[in-house]
Amino acid sequence: MIRALLLCVGLAVAAANWSIAQQAPAPAPPAPAAPAAPAAPRPWSSLSPQQQQLLQSYQGKWDSLPPQRQQALSKGSARWLTMTPEQRSGAQQRFQQWRAMPPEQRQLVRERWQRFKNLPPEQQERVREQYRQFKQIPAERRQELRQQWRQMSPEQRQHALQRPAQMPAQRPPSAPRPSGMQNHPNARRSSPPRR
């Protein structure tokens, strides 16, 4: 059970890093075999009034920004405008966490995000599902599992990650047996013994 939970913690940490990396600048793609067409400059006037308001601090220097940066700011501001208030709050928190990270940790998150993106879709979904399951565990237990993960050696972590993930069926010890189990031959009897 502990190994399965530790596996989920490891995957949850990777998935958490994924959610932080979502707001991070994308890592530089590998050099293409054929030269790619450079991004075209984006005129300030092509932005919507709402985007211009969001990006007003860039207005005076917009034309001096590299076209790639202009495109990224344009795309990011358009995405921001479609977010709900809850999504915006989460994005702001992730951005603050990102800014607080040392450069080495940011690079590690970028690499993990790239590895996640390179996984086949079914494995990506498996990681997401394990992260969702991890988030269902009470906060105190998640913290205990994170602490156990941090104390593991790299070899122990690798070994835990290689084991298949099996989330234990969590049923409170005092929960009643399912209705079909009362008459099962191995079910404990709560009635007094026969004389």
Averaged pLDDT for residues 63-75: 93
Q: How much of the chain, in percent, has pLDDT values that exceed 90? A: 53
Averaged pLDDT for residues 166-173: 46
CB atoms within 10 A of CB 78: 14
Give residue 68's pLDDT band: very low, low, confident or very high (50, 70, 90). very high
- From residue 73, how far is each of 54, 58, 155 by CA, in Å? 10, 9, 41
At 11, is the secondary structure helix, strand, or coil? Answer: helix
Q: How confident is the model over 115-169, as pLDDT tens digits?
A: 999 999 999 999 999 899 999 999 999 999 989 989 999 888 888 877 655 544 4
The one-letter amino acid at 87:
Q
Averaged pLDDT for residues 45-63: 94
Q: How confident is the model over 5-38, as pLDDT tens digits?
A: 344 445 444 444 444 344 334 444 444 444 556 7
Backbone angles phi, psi at 68, to 5 degrees: -60, -40
CB atoms within 10 A of CB 10: 21
pLDDT value for 44: 94
Asked whether the predicted pLDDT for residue 1 surpasses 90, the reply is no
Could you tell me where the beta strands, DSSP code E, fall in the chain? none
Q: Please state the pTM of the whole predicted model.
A: 0.48
